[in-house]
Chain A
Amino acid sequence: MSKLSSTLSPPASNELEISIFGPGYGESILLHIGNSEWILIDSCVEPNSGEPAALHYLTQIGVDVESAVKLIVATHWHDDHVGGLSKVVDKCTSANVALSGALSIKEFLTLVAVHRHRAIATTSSLKELAAVLHTLEERGKKGKRAVVDRQLHQSRIPLSSGVAEAKIFSVSPSDGSLQQATLAFTQLLRDSDKVLRSPTPNHAAVVLWVEVGRHVMLLGADLECTADSNRGWLAILNDSTVIAAREQKAKIFKVAHHGAKSAHEPRVWNDIISPEPIAVLTPFARGNISLPTVGDKNRIKNLTPSAFITAAPREHEHTWRNRVVRDLVNEATRSIRDVHSGWGHVRVRQTIEDPQDNWRTELFGDAVPLDEVA
């Protein structure tokens, strides 16, 4: 493992890469599956540039996003996963776009249509998703519905020793989760004069199973657990034919829902993830919720010594430049703090044809091993 500050270089053509970006609020993932083909999952904004994190990074390492990004996946409708997503779709002109099946059902699209014509918040995640759909309309290009056991992408990666198959499957949401999402969206339409909030907890997020050669990754999005075996993680374990037919266990795990206990299913760690995997998570800080909790961190550290987080949760007071703003803000508030209190990037690479697990982990910005988090 190395700690780098600024040196960024693109992966070799035969290198697999997963890059996970996260400030205190937001998450985005990039995959290089070889042969200069990139997959982008969710989006958040890099606070210094104001650009979508993945685009910012790809530009830094000299990747032509117009041609190199092959697939963009929006795993679910939560603010912290869609920041800048419409810009990503707009820039990556040759990419296929896959949305959670929940975001393609008629009740959700009706919500989008309603709020296209209503003034909604500048920062609304619904506005981002509406803009994504608008781009698809303009391009006349069909989007993909990401649901259980759907193959979203397939490539043949040329290597010096032959060819590696790269396959990306969505293994959720399940039918049961989609039914629940339909009911939730219907209720939002009925409550149109009330505030619009994306439904929680989220059992309709897209979990991805990624195979490149013999290397496997499981990207957990924000999927949570429920006692209902037809929804959430239990539905994946019980019903997914992709998971049932797997030949390998995942060596890389993007821990679901910022490490929260509500997203922890022991059978996932026991049955479909390798012992002591490389686990990566992003923090989440909003209101009185701060993830991962101390209990979450201890639980994950007990499961693997190779756990990393893109930034340690922490608070940061703002220094005001304008005296009038400072004084009036202080009068009106008990406390105020910057949300993006940290910014980090965890990058893991592995040579595709290497039969051994020789993953190399690099940490950028505020990313740290989980056991260094106080």
Chain B
Amino acid sequence: MPEIQRLDSIPIVFSTTLDATYGLQGGFPIHDLSRPEVVRSSDGAEQTQIRYVNGESSLDEIKLNPFLFSLPSAPQAKEFFRAIQKWEGYVLDVGRDLFRARLVSIVGEGPDQEAEIYLEEVDPDDQELVQPGAVFYWTIGYLDRPSGRLRGSILRFRRLPALSEPELETARREAEKLEGLFE
């Protein structure tokens, strides 16, 4: 596995979309979603490209091959969301007004839980992703701003890009090696 070159790291700053997509823990600056970002692995051969469209927070394209990434520099956040409870969830079934989900706490309290969550809690951009098996991240916490503190709930669904043929070919070669693990 190649090491990842941290282009210009900053402490605990992740974007909403990355946080939702990859389940990273920690807070994120609310206003820092429009910057194009590039991450490069140290061997130069593998690159991860992450592109945002028109400054919107949705993740348009990810080519993540392989493994780890860090984020380039960003201005210090003036608004900061501090999670006091965060779950990784996956959808069990979907009804007309709500969906049922299994929740596993990854920040904060609690055993595994099962909840019926109102669909209106889901970002409009994510509504199409609400289907059985889909993974999401639900964060509850405080938004600290210069003008004061707000409490809030953010629920974002993970997006998966389709496999590229090179990715699939790499996986097949690795699978052949894994086959050798069995008698």
Contacts and interface: CB of A to CB of B under 8 A. Distances in A.
Among B92, B131, B171, residue most surrounded by chain A Cβ atoms (within 10 Å) = B171
B67 A336 contact: no
B115 interface: yes
Interface string B150-183: 0111010010111100011011101110110111
A189 B88 CA distance: 23
Give the one of B91, B151, B175 with max A CB within 10 A: B175
A142 B181 contact: yes
B178 A194 contact: no
Interface string A91-119: 00000000100001011011011101111
A144 B182 contact: yes
A143 B178 CA distance: 10
Contacts of A142: 181-183
Given A113-B178, A122-B106, A192-B162, A333 B117 contact: yes
A321 B84 CA distance: 11
A4 interface: no
B63 to A, nearest CB: 11
Interface residues of A, number: 55
Nearest to A96: B183
A49 interface: no
Which range contains the number of B residues in contact with the other chain?
A: 35 or more
Contacts of A197: 132-133
A322 B114 contact: no
Nearest to A115: B171
Nearest to B141: A324
A335 B113 CA distance: 10
Contacts of A331: 153
B109 interface: yes
Nearest to B106: A122
Interface stretch (B9-17, B70-78, B96-104): B96-104
A137 interface: yes
A337 B182 CA distance: 41
B140 interface: yes
A297 interface: no
Given A117-B66, A195-B135, A122 B109 contact: no
A133 interface: yes
A117 B104 CA distance: 22
Given A122-B88, A197-B133, A339 B114 contact: yes
Given A113-B170, A143-B183, A122 B118 contact: no
B153 A332 contact: yes
Given A121-B135, A122-B23, A143-B182, A318 B113 contact: yes
A195 B22 contact: no
A139 B114 CA distance: 38
B36 to A, nearest CB: 20
Interface string B101-142: 011101011111111111001000000000111110000101
Interface string A307-338: 00000000000101110110011011111111
B93 A328 contact: no
B57 interface: no
From A123, A196, A318, A331, residue with most partner B Cβ within 10 Å: A123
Contacts of B21: 119
A145 B183 CA distance: 7
Nearest to A105: B179
A287 B84 contact: no
Given A121-B90, A144-B183, A189-B168, A113 B104 contact: no
B70 to A, nearest CB: 14
A118 B118 contact: no
A340 B105 CA distance: 13
Nearest to B88: A122
B179 to A, nearest CB: 6
B59 to A, nearest CB: 12
Contact of B116 (A109, A113, A334): A334
Contacts of B163: 114, 189, 192-193
Interface in A335-351: 335-340
Contacts of B181: 104, 133, 136-137, 142-143
B90 A104 contact: no
A288 interface: yes
Contacts of B92: 286-287
B162 A110 contact: no
Interface of B: 21-23, 64-67, 84-85, 88, 90-93, 98, 100, 102-104, 106, 108-118, 121, 131-135, 140, 142, 151-153, 155, 158, 160-163, 167-168, 170-172, 174-176, 178-179, 181-183
7 contacts: A109-B174, A118-B64, A143-B181, A192-B168, A195-B132, A321-B109, A325-B108
